[in-house]
Amino acid sequence: MHEHVDVMAAAEVTVANGAPPSRWFRDLLSCIRFDEVLVLQGAPLLGAVCGIEKITGEGVTALLAFAAGSCLLVAHIFVFNDWSGMHADLRDPHRATPVFTTRRIRRTDVRNLSIGLLAMSLLVLLPYGPRTLGIALVITGLSALYSAPWSQMKGRPLVSSALHLSGGFFHFLLGYSVFRHIDRRGLAIACCVGLIFTAGHLTHEVRDADSDRRSGIRTNAVAFGTFRSFVAGLLLFALADFLLAGLGVARMLPQPVMLVAALYLLHLYWSLQALREGLTFRAVRSLQIRYRVLYAAIGILVSLSVLLTNR
């Protein structure tokens, strides 16, 4: 009971006496996980690049403006997730320090920041038409189902993974829809991206299994065990990689994409290392950093191949 009161009190911490508005604004912006926002731009930007039929100055301008809108949308998702999960984060030693209450920011301020980011993202994406705007709203709805206090689907095994599968799918199509209609090719690539999202989510749950268990959040890793969830994620990564290679064989993507299948061996080697270390927080976190770099390289490979083809 006392712990709950302390947490609620922390949530209502106000700006320190005499602190200038500029400092409050800097502290508020520091609540945005800019590193995670940039990482998640891979899917929509890859979608936009795959959707470009020919590189023009107008197309590059549209791509840059879209990137701004996409960043705002993903920032909203993370801020909303942090606002919803504040109490659990405060009990997690790995996440307690970044929680916004440690920066003299009220919970209501973070809620308003989340709403503001969403509004700005929709305004930026509005000129791209109803198709792109509709996909952005679908992504927002999936985020709400996953994080909102009234649903908390993040604590429902399998359902949370289904939301991430859908989220990755629509994040790719968000960018793809900017430059062309949704077609069979776009849907096929989006499925691969959705599988990668889901696999990454399962790995993330393995990393945070101990803290989620203490907080009463029943993730896949808590419900089925860290080993099973980790292996499931590894198999989904493999499926996504080989499907991407298959799209190269089918010429839906440039043929250099077939190298992705070989790069999976490196991912497998790193994953076996994490297993040998007992899937500790540190081991899984190290794996996450490595495979994110690997998939960034894959994304760059695919993007360059597509852009060179469309010159």
CA neighbor of 111 nearest in space, from 90, 136, 86, 130: 86
Domain match, 64 and 173 both: yes
Domain match, 38 and 151 both: yes
CA neighbor of 74 nearest in space, from 206, 212, 175, 199: 175
Domain match, 119 and 210 both: no
How many domains is the chain partitioned into structurally?
Answer: 2
At 158, list the tokens: 């399998």
The whole-number pLDDT of residue 96 equals: 44
The whole-number pLDDT of residue 261 equals: 81
Final residue of a structural domain among 182, 201, 217: 182
Using one digit for the tens of pLDDT, what is the confidence trace for 14-27? 444 445 677 777 87
| Beta carbons of 34 and 289 less than 8 angstroms apart | no
d(CA 172, CA 175): 6
The whole-number pLDDT of residue 199 equals: 97
Domain match, 216 and 300 both: yes
d(CA 145, CA 34): 22
Domain match, 23 and 52 both: yes
| Beta carbons of 197 and 166 less than 8 angstroms apart | no
CA 197 to chain centroid, in Å, comes to 7
Q: At what angle do helices 130-147 and 107-125 cross, to 10 degrees?
A: 160
Final residue of a structural domain among 128, 154, 182: 182
Domain match, 206 and 281 both: yes
Write b or e for each residue in 141-156: b if 16 or more Cβ atoms lie within 10 A of its Cβ, otherwise e: ebbebbbeeeebebbb
| Beta carbons of 169 and 195 less than 8 angstroms apart | no
Domain match, 50 and 86 both: yes
Domain match, 30 and 123 both: yes
CA distances from 244 to 72, 257, 306 (A): 28, 7, 14
d(CA 305, CA 243): 17
Query: What count of other Cβ atoms lies within 10 Å of the Cβ of residue 176?
Result: 31
d(CA 154, CA 219): 7
Collect all residues with Cβ–Cβ distance below 8 Å to 236 and sequence separation of at least 6.
195, 196, 198, 199, 202
Using one digit for the tens of pLDDT, what is the confidence trace for 140-190? 999 999 988 787 788 899 999 999 999 999 999 999 999 999 999 999 999
Final residue of a structural domain among 182, 208, 241: 182
What residue type is assigned to position 4 of the chain? H
Domain match, 210 and 98 both: no
| Beta carbons of 132 and 174 less than 8 angstroms apart | yes
Domain match, 261 and 284 both: yes
The whole-number pLDDT of residue 102 equals: 55
Collect all residues with Cβ–Cβ distance below 8 Å to 72 and sequence separation of at least 6.
117, 118, 120, 121, 124
Residues of the chain with pLDDT under 50: 1-18, 90, 96-97, 99
Range of the domain at 264: 183-311
d(CA 178, CA 66): 8
What residue type is assigned to position 269 of the chain? Y
Domain match, 170 and 207 both: no
Domain match, 197 and 280 both: yes
CATH number of domain containing 5: 1.10.357.140
The whole-number pLDDT of residue 107 equals: 80
